Amino acid sequence: MTHFFVLLQKDLLVGWRGRSRLVGLVTYGTSLLLLFSFALGADSAVLREHAAAYLWVALLSASTLLLAQSFQHETEAGALEGLLLVPVSPMALYYAKATANLVLLLFLAVALFPLTAVLFDLQGGISPLRLAAVVTLGSAGLVGPGTLYAALTARLASKQVMLPVLLFPLVIPPVVASVKGTQLALTGDPMGQLVSWLSLLLIFDLLYWSLGGILLGKVLDE
């Protein structure tokens, strides 16, 4: 447990010291949001209706870069081997890394949301609490399997392609649930459907955060 907190602190410190990269990711997300508007045309009604979808595609896309970076720190100077020799258990390593990635992805979401609201002209009636719940559970759904796959692809020559190729089909459930949930949190939830989407996210998160903790050790062995 001590290891978990030290590692989490370490990952957040690395994130903070390399904050220029985070700024880069926010900029990347921003350009994606702008691109969606241009790709679809300046029909503000259409854009508003699909704002949640654009936000999540931007987050998903930026998350693969974030995830890849999180393991690049570990492999570029052999830090991961140093950790294994401490020794740190792969489980502590996974949970610390996944939690740190969740925090960083949430930071990205918080940075991109106001932009989404402005660009796509979101109207009032937004429920911040519901939105926070959807964004947190949805982001956890992306980083849960994403952290494991980032570790798995970190040492491959074709890692830039392999990470999204493996991750994207897998995270369709959290993306679907997050988009629907975000829409409901933005425009109101008269039918009370939000709870079902949140529970789908919760099930997915529990499943993959458990699998990740068990399986990371199998990926680090040689």
Partner 1 sequence: MSEPVVQVEQLSRRFGKRWALARVDLTLYAGERLLIMGQNGSGKTTFLRILATLTQPTLGTVRLFGADPVRDPWSARARLALLSHQPSVYEDLSARDNLRILARLRGIPDQTASWLERVGLEDRPEPVHTYSAGMRKRLSFARVLAQEPQLVMIDEPYGQLDPGGFALVDGLIREISERGATVILASHLVERASRLTERALLLHRGQPRWTGEASRAPLAWQTLHEEAR
Partner 2 sequence: MNKTLLLGALGVLVMLVGHGIGLFYAPPEAYMGDTGRILYVHVPTAWVGMLALTAAFAMAVGALWNGKAIWDSYMEASIEVGVVFSAMLLAQGSIWAKPTWNTWWTWDPRLTTSAIMVVAFIGVLLLRGAVHSPSRRMAFSAVATIIAFVDVPVVYFSVEWWETTHQGFSGRDNVDAVMRFPLLVSLAGTTLLGLAFIKARQRIAWARHLEEERAPDLPETPAPLSLPDPSNQKENLG
Task: Based on the shown chain and the rule CB under 8 A, indicate whether residue 203 belongs to the binding site for partner 2.
Answer: yes
Q: Which stretch binds partner 2 (CB under 8 A): 31-39, 93-101, 122-130, 144-152?
A: 144-152
Q: Measure the CA–CA gap between 148 and 97, rounded to whole angstroms.
A: 9
User: Contact residues for partner 1 (CB under 8 A)?
Assistant: 2-3, 6-7, 10, 13-14, 17-18, 73, 76-79, 81-88, 222
Nearest approach, Cβ of residue 185 and partner 2 (Å): 17
Kindly state the helix (H) or strand (E) to which residue 189 belongs, with its residue range: none
Task: Based on the shown chain and the rule CB under 8 A, indicate whether residue 170 belongs to the binding site for partner 2.
Answer: yes
Nearest approach, Cβ of residue 153 and partner 1 (Å): 20
Which single residue is written with the structure tokens 């994403």? 146
- Determine contact, residues 210/181, Cβ cutoff 8 Å: no
Q: Which is nearer to partner 2, 26 or 166 (CB)?
A: 166
**Which segments of the chain does DSSP mark as H helices, in order?**
2-17, 19-40, 44-49, 51-76, 79-85, 90-119, 128-153, 159-170, 172-187, 194-220
- Determine contact, residues 208/147, Cβ cutoff 8 Å: no
Task: Based on the shown chain and the rule CB under 8 A, indicate whether residue 194 belongs to the binding site for partner 2.
Answer: no
AA letter at 121: D
158 burial via Cβ count (<10 Å: 0-12, 13-18, 19+): exposed
Q: Measure the CA–CA gap between 125 and 105, rounded to whole angstroms.
A: 25
Task: Based on the shown chain and the rule CB under 8 A, indicate whether residue 207 belongs to the binding site for partner 2.
Answer: yes
Enumerate residues 6+ apart whose C-beta is below 8 A from 91: 213, 214, 216, 217
Q: Which stretch binds partner 2 (CB under 8 A): 41-49, 110-118, 119-127, 214-222?
A: 214-222
Nearest approach, Cβ of residue 16 and partner 1 (Å): 9
Residue 2 interacts with, from partner 2, partner 1, none (CB under 5-8 Å by kind):
partner 1
Q: In the set 42, 158, 190, 191, which binds partner 2 (CB under 8 A)?
A: 158
Which chain residues interact with partner 2 by CB under 8 A?
145, 148-149, 152-153, 156-158, 162, 165-166, 168-170, 172-173, 176-177, 180, 196-197, 200, 203-204, 207-208, 211, 215, 218-219, 221-222
